[in-house]
Structure 1
Amino acid sequence: MGWAQHTTLPTNPADPNSFVDQHQYYDIGVFDSIGGARNSAYTSWVSLATATSVPTSTSSVSVTSTASVATACAATQTPSSQTYDYIVAGAGAGGIALAAKLSENGGKKVLLIEKGPPSSGRWGGSLISSWNAPTWLSSTNLTRFDVPGLCNEIWVDSVGISCTDASSMAGCVLGGGTAINAGLWWRANPADFDYNFPAGWRSSEVAQAISRVFQKIPGTYYPSLNGQTYLRQGFNSIASALTAAGWTSVDANANPGSKNRTYSQTPYMFSHGERGGPMATYLVEASQRSNFKLIMNTGVRRIIRTGGHATGVELEPTNSNGLCGNISLTAKGRVIVSAGVFGSTKLLYRSGIGLTDQLNIVKSSAKDGATMISSSQWINLPVGKNLNDHTNTDVVIRNKDSVFYDFYAAFQTPIQADAQSYLSSRTGILAQSAPNIGPVFWEIITGSDGIQRQLQWTARVEGGHGFPDNTSMVLSQYLGRGKTSTGALSIRPDLSITVSDLPYNKTAGDNDAIVQGIKHLQTALANNKDITVVFPAAGQSVENFVASYPVSTSARTANHWIGTARMGTDSGLTGGTSVVDTSTKVYGTDNIHVVDASIFPGMMSTNPSALIVAVAERAWEYISGLN
Structure 2
Amino acid sequence: MSRALTLALYALLALNLVAALTIRNPSEAYNPNHPNVRMFKRALTTNPADVAGKSYDFIIAGGGLAGLTLAGRLAEWSNFTVLVIEAGGDGSDVQIQETVPGFAYMKGLSAGPYGWGYKTVNMTDSLNMAKNYPLGKGLGGSGAINGMFWCRGSSDDYDAWGALNPGGAVAWNWAEMQKYINKAENVQMPPQAQADQFHIILDPKSHGTGGPLQIGFSKYIYPIVANWVPSWQSLGFTNKDLASGNVHGVTITPSTMDAAKGARSDSRTAYIDPKAAFPNLTVLSRQQVTKIMFNNTMGGNLTANGVQFQADAASTQYSVFANKEVIVSGGAINSPKLLQLSGIGPSSVLQPLGLPVLADLPVGQGFHDHVSFGMYFSIQAGLETWFNLAMNVSGAQDAALAQWQATADGPLTYVNEAIGYINAADIGFTAAPDAAGTAAAVSSKYGFPAALQKGIQAQYGIQNTQLPTDAGQFEIIMHLWGKDASSIAIQIALQHPYSRGHVALASASPFDPPLIDPDYFGVDADTQMMSAAVAWVRKLAAQGPLGAIITGEQSPGANVTGEDLVNAFKAASGTEFHPLATAAMLPKDSGGVVDTTLTVYGTQNVRVVDASIMPLHVAAHLMASTYGVAEKAADIIKAKYAYHPPTSSSAAPTSHGTTVAEPSSAPTDTTAGSSASSSSLSTGAKIGIGVGAGIGAVLLLGAILMFCVNRNKKANQPNKNGWYTNQPAATGYGQDAYAMQNVPGSGGGQGGGQQQRGFDSPHRPFDRPLSAAGSVDTMATGDLPRGG
TM-score (norm 1): 0.74
Match of 1:563 in 2: 581
Q: 1:619 & 1:76 partners in 2: Cα distance?
A: 27
Match of 1:515 in 2: 531
Q: 1:76 & 1:348 partners in 2: Cα distance?
A: 22
**Mapping 1:18-97, distance limit 5 Å:** 77=49, 79-97=51-69
Match of 2:422 in 1: 443
Determine which of 180, 192, 211 is the counterpart of 1:216: 211
Match of 1:596 in 2: 610
Asked if the contact 1:223/1:273 (under 8 Å) is kept, the reply is yes
Match of 2:521 in 1: 505
Decide whether aligned partners of structure 1 residues 296 and 505 sit closer, same or farther in structure 2, where only a CA change above 3 A counts. same
Structure 1 position 577 matched with structure 2 position 591? yes
Decide whether aligned partners of structure 1 residues 388 and 290 sit closer, same or farther in structure 2, where only a CA change above 3 A counts. same
Match of 2:744 in 1: none
Asked if the contact 1:102/1:624 (under 8 Å) is kept, the reply is yes
Structure 1 position 438, deviation (Å): 3.9
Counterpart of 1:203, as a letter, is W
Structure 1 position 536, deviation (Å): 3.5
Q: 1:411 & 1:338 partners in 2: Cα distance?
A: 41
Q: Which has the higher contact order (CA 8 A, sep 6+)?
A: 2
Q: 2:626 & 2:608 partners in 1: Cα distance?
A: 12
Determine which of 304, 318, 326 is the counterpart of 1:335: 326
Decide whether aligned partners of structure 1 residues 356 and 440 sit closer, same or farther in structure 2, where only a CA change above 3 A counts. same
Q: 2:579 & 2:406 partners in 1: Cα distance?
A: 38
Query: Structure 1 stretch 280-289 or stretch 175-184: which is displaced more?
Result: 280-289
Match of 1:263 in 2: 250
Cα-to-partner distance string for 1:57-110 (whole Å, 9 max, x where unaligned): xxxxxxxxxxxxxxxxx9974634431111111111111111111111111111
Cα-to-partner distance string for 1:508-558 (whole Å, 9 max, x where unaligned): 3322322222222222322224323333322332x4354213547x73211
Counterpart of 2:247, as a letter, is K
Q: 1:549 & 1:343 partners in 2: Cα distance?
A: 31
Asked if the contact 2:337/2:514 (under 8 Å) is kept, the reply is no
Q: Secondary structure, in 3 states, of the residue corresponding to 2:529?
A: helix
Asked if the contact 2:118/2:134 (under 8 Å) is kept, the reply is no
Counterpart of 2:329, as a letter, is S
Cα-to-partner distance string for 1:227-285 (whole Å, 9 max, x where unaligned): xx23221x2334332222222222334x3x2322x211131111121111211211235
Structure 1 position 243 matched with structure 2 position 233? yes
Match of 2:307 in 1: 313
Asked if the contact 2:217/2:257 (under 8 Å) is kept, the reply is no
Q: Secondary structure, in 3 states, of the residue corresponding to 1:579?
A: coil
Cα-to-partner distance string for 1:179-227 (whole Å, 9 max, x where unaligned): 1101111244322211234351011233321221123156544333xxx
Asked if the contact 2:48/2:287 (under 8 Å) is kept, the reply is no
**Mapping 1:256-405, distance limit 5 Å:** 257-260=245-248, 262-271=249-258, 272-285=261-274, 288-306=277-295, 307=297, 308-318=302-312, 324-330=317-323, 333-363=324-354, 375=356, 378-400=358-380, 402-405=383-386
Structure 1 position 411, deviation (Å): 11
Asked if the contact 1:286/1:292 (under 8 Å) is kept, the reply is no
Cα-to-partner distance string for 1:436-464 (whole Å, 9 max, x where unaligned): x241111111541155252111110122x
Decide whether aligned partners of structure 1 residues 509 and 420 sit closer, same or farther in structure 2, where only a CA change above 3 A counts. same
Q: Secondary structure, in 3 states, of the residue corresponding to 2:98?
A: coil
Q: 2:311 & 2:393 partners in 1: Cα distance?
A: 30
Match of 1:231 in 2: 222
Counterpart of 1:485, as a letter, is S
Decide whether aligned partners of structure 1 residues 75 and 345 sit closer, same or farther in structure 2, where only a CA change above 3 A counts. closer
Q: 1:156 & 1:279 partners in 2: Cα distance?
A: 16
Q: Secondary structure, in 3 states, of the residue corresponding to 2:520?
A: coil
Counterpart of 1:273, as a letter, is G
Q: 2:107 & 2:431 partners in 1: Cα distance?
A: 38
Name the structure where helix makes up a greater proportion of residues: 2
Match of 1:476 in 2: 491
Asked if the contact 2:110/2:134 (under 8 Å) is kept, the reply is no
Structure 1 position 461 matched with structure 2 position 462? no
**Mapping 1:61-140, distance limit 5 Å:** 77=49, 79-119=51-91, 125-127=92-94
Decide which structure has the larger Cα Rg and report it: 2
Q: 1:580 & 1:270 partners in 2: Cα distance?
A: 32
Q: 2:47 & 2:115 partners in 1: Cα distance?
A: 28
Decide whether aligned partners of structure 1 residues 217 and 544 sit closer, same or farther in structure 2, where only a CA change above 3 A counts. farther
Counterpart of 1:269, as a letter, is T
Counterpart of 2:348, as a letter, is D
Q: 1:474 & 1:361 partners in 2: Cα distance?
A: 45
Counterpart of 1:400, as a letter, is Q
Structure 1 position 413, deviation (Å): 5.5
Q: What stretches of structure 1 of length at least 5 have no aligned partner?
A: 1-73, 120-124, 128-141, 364-371
Asked if the contact 2:88/2:114 (under 8 Å) is kept, the reply is yes
Q: 1:590 & 1:338 partners in 2: Cα distance?
A: 17
Q: 2:79 & 2:148 partners in 1: Cα distance?
A: 34
Asked if the contact 1:297/1:318 (under 8 Å) is kept, the reply is no
Query: Structure 1 stretch 450-459 or stretch 440-449: which is displaced more?
Result: 450-459
Decide whether aligned partners of structure 1 residues 522 and 312 sit closer, same or farther in structure 2, where only a CA change above 3 A counts. same
Aligned residues: 499
Counterpart of 1:326, as a letter, is S
Structure 1 position 151 matched with structure 2 position 104? yes
Q: 1:286 & 1:318 partners in 2: Cα distance?
A: 32
Structure 1 position 539 matched with structure 2 position 562? no
Structure 1 position 562, deviation (Å): 1.0
Structure 1 position 346, deviation (Å): 1.2
TM-score (norm 2): 0.60
